[in-house]
Homo-oligomer: A and B are copies of this chain.
């Protein structure tokens, strides 16, 4: 069961995960990651842009790759776009598999891809000024772990 969403309205992980888990009967484990806007460094708001013709199709392709690579029963990828405030969820990835290893690795993999290799552009509002954000060196290093 593959569920990929690009959301302009608030993301509510609890409601997505509950129905996702129920849609994958017989699973052994579900791993879920939820990323939220951190309020540190005086971040007042965060805005995510996307490019319509690429962003959702590439998320769907990522879901396909994860299912094959980690032998998943199902995957959920939900990503916000638009304006968000500290404490609001930005992204939710959930993977269901027979065994925990596949579920955990799939979430790890998808998050690394979404962070540094998906068609999103992020900026933060600090002190009334917008700053574009690029992935940290660690993010690129995390992504490189999956190259083979």
Contacts and interface: CB of A to CB of B under 8 A. Distances in A.
A36 interface: yes
Given A14-B18, A29-B34, 14 more contacts: A14-B17, A26-B38, A26-B40, A26-B86, A27-B38, A28-B36, A29-B36, A30-B34, A31-B31, A33-B103, A33-B104, A35-B100, A38-B98, A100-B115
Contacts of A11: none
Contact of A142 (B18, B101, B138): B101
A86 B25 CA distance: 9
A28 B34 contact: no
B38 A28 contact: yes
B28 A31 contact: no
Interface residues of A, number: 33
A76 interface: no
Interface of A is mostly: mixed
Most buried by B among A32, A86, A111: A32
Contacts of A142: 101
A18 B13 CA distance: 9
Contacts of A138: 99, 101
A108 interface: yes
Interface string A80-122: 0000001100000000001111011001100100010000000
Nearest to A22: B87
A104 B107 contact: yes
